[in-house]
Amino acid sequence: MRAQNNNARSVSVDLNRRSVLMAGAGMIAAMSAPAIHAQSGPDYGIEGYVAPEIELDYWIDKNGDKTEFSVVDNRGKWVFLKCFQNWCPGCHSSGFPALQKFSQAFHDHPQVAIAGIQTVFEGFGTNTQADVRKLQKRYDLPITMGHDPGDRNDPNGDHRSQTMKLYRTGGTPWLIVIDPEGTVVYNHFRVNVEKLIEHIKTDLA
């Protein structure tokens, strides 16, 4: 089942943009993530669909102060969402370095919105809200960051966070790229961030 009924397939997808980001365009790095932290398959991702809103109780700005972030309000911009967990080895080895590079390139660009989201579905005692600010400082990330705690007490054993359910993500690290029309054009594991930066700079020129 798709994330939400209102995620109608968008007819405004720019196929040229998508082709740069999708596998087969020669721009995607090899997908790799520890099996215990993520799974990937045909049931993951909502590429080609309108990006749903993410409503979290905890967002902080680059200074660690409480703020807000809206996918919908950033329509008209490129939106880059990086999902992570504090205890995820792949997040530290590849996820955060990629987020650093993208943030350094675009954190102050008026047509790009960036957010890191801790999407917790395991290790609830280790992947805490307090860790979000610690990681922001550790990796010197001048961006908005949020905490999506998941449900550790779900009676059906579905501990996935809201973001994971809405975007059908497969674990962490995970990348979501939304184009200015509000369409999800990439929703999977690592991307070739240098090529992504190059593509977006060209698009914004």
pLDDT at 122 over 70: yes
CB atoms < 10 A from the CB of 176, how many?
26
Amino acid in position 137: K
**Look-up of token digits 């409503």:** 55
Determine, yes or no, domain membership for 8.
Answer: no
What's the pLDDT at 65?
A: 98
Residue 67 in domain: yes
What digits encode the pLDDT tens for the residues 10-29? Answer: 333 343 444 444 433 333 33
Q: Is the pLDDT of residue 8 over 50?
A: no
User: What would the pLDDT profile of 170-201 be if each residue is shown by its tens digit?
Assistant: 999 999 999 999 999 999 987 899 999 999 99
SS3 state of residue 28: coil
- Do residues 99 and 145 lie in contact, with contact meaning Cβ atoms separated by under 8 Å? no
Whether 39 shows a pLDDT value over 60: the answer reads no
In a domain, 6, yes or no: no
pLDDT of 43? 72
Residue 35 maps to a domain: no
**Can you give the CATH number for the domain in which 110 is found?**
3.40.30.10
Query: Residue 87: inside a domain, yes or no?
Result: yes
Question: Does residue 9 lie within any of the structural domains?
Answer: no
Mean pLDDT score, 85-102: 96
Tally of domains within the chain: 1
Q: How far apart are CA 180 and CA 160, in angstroms?
A: 27
- Please check whether residue 138 lies inside any domain of the structure: yes
- Residue 56: pLDDT over 50: yes
What pTM did the predictor assign?
0.81
Of 21-25, 78-82, 154-158, give the range with the top mean pLDDT: 78-82
Give the residue-averaged pLDDT of 127-136.
Answer: 97
pLDDT over 90 (residue 78)? yes
- The residue range of the domain holding 89 is 15-30+46-204
At residue 42, the pLDDT reads: 55
